[in-house]
Chain A
């Protein structure tokens, strides 16, 4: 079953990459679709980030107190805005999390 889902998802993903190469006459997306698709990365990635930071993995409930994860995420946002560097952001974020988990 895992394989079936994976192959279906893989075929769909390939289709999203191939669709405009397929040789049809239309090579431009309608403006509204183009505009809407520009928001896909922001919407999808934020939807993954927020629960990963705020939902406690053990109790599965939203934590409203400043947890090590939340503080590490805020530090990472600041580092990302200042450096725009992916690896620096990951490393500083992880180290912050380790220090806070050890200390709190």
Chain B
């Protein structure tokens, strides 16, 4: 029987390798937040209020460009919609827990914590303490994210613009997206989103991101439907 403590530690250990990608991203967000004109308090607290890397970066960039509130809110919302998927696939393992546990674990449910804890839930025998795995993974991630944001805020002012450090953001996303483009539907989603993001640049209020995201999701979904339908007709 695994104890709560050993599950918690296993969560931390499983999460550790992923921190290699999280810490530089947190640093870059801290630097970028200050460069965008957000205050020190706003930048640091955004890492606990939103606790989602891509959405925080977009928040800072849109805010710096003077986009209206509904566009910032809308963009952040579209970006974070993917969590509904994680929430759905985790709920089988967590729905029986008391409310305070579900609230804490939902707050800690990020891409990286989901990735390691869903593997543990699915692959290893279930027990009554296994939610401590997600708590361990999520807490390590949370602490690492806060510390790296703070370091980014502190050192941000000393890094010259000529280093183009903000380019680390598209590079991080390239590292995430390039290897997961497998099907024709994936490619359709990526191409549509990319082209709409360029065509939409002249749109007012920085609406291009919402437009490109929704267009890309729709294109991927339509191609996926079409492939499924032709597969069914064939068989």
Contacts and interface: CB of A to CB of B under 8 A. Distances in A.
A26 to B, nearest CB: 9
B73 A9 contact: yes
Interface in B188-235: 189-190, 192-198, 201, 208-209, 212-221, 224-225
Interface residues of B, number: 90
Given A4-B69, A20-B91, A40-B217, A45 B84 contact: no
A21 B189 contact: no
Interface in B143-194: 162-165, 167-181, 185-186, 189-190, 192-194
Interface string A38-50: 1111111111111
Contacts of B85: 29, 34, 37-38, 40
B151 to A, nearest CB: 16
Interface in B14-67: 20-21, 24, 38, 42, 45-46, 49-52, 54-55, 57-59, 63
Contacts of B209: 44, 47-48
Contacts of B52: 13
A21 B221 CA distance: 25
Contact of A87 (B20, B105, B186, B218): B20
A30 B169 CA distance: 33
Given A16-B80, A46-B194, A90 B171 contact: yes
A44 B73 CA distance: 15
B91 A46 contact: no
B88 A41 contact: no
Interface in A4-63: 4-10, 12-14, 16-23, 27-29, 32-55, 60, 62
B176 A7 contact: no
Contacts of B78: 40, 44
B10 interface: no
Given A80-B174, A94-B171, A40 B55 contact: no
Contacts of B118: none
B135 interface: no
Contact of A73 (B55, B57, B72, B170): B170
Which 7 pairs from chain A and chain B are nearest by CB? Answer: A43-B216, A39-B220, A47-B212, A89-B175, A18-B106, A86-B21, A10-B49
22 contacts: A2-B42, A5-B69, A6-B50, A8-B73, A16-B87, A18-B107, A36-B218, A38-B85, A40-B78, A40-B79, A40-B85, A41-B82, A41-B176, A42-B180, A43-B212, A43-B216, A44-B193, A76-B171, A80-B175, A86-B21, A87-B21, A89-B171
Interface of A: 1-10, 12-14, 16-23, 27-29, 32-55, 60, 62, 69, 72-73, 76-77, 79-81, 84-87, 89-90, 93-94, 97-98, 101
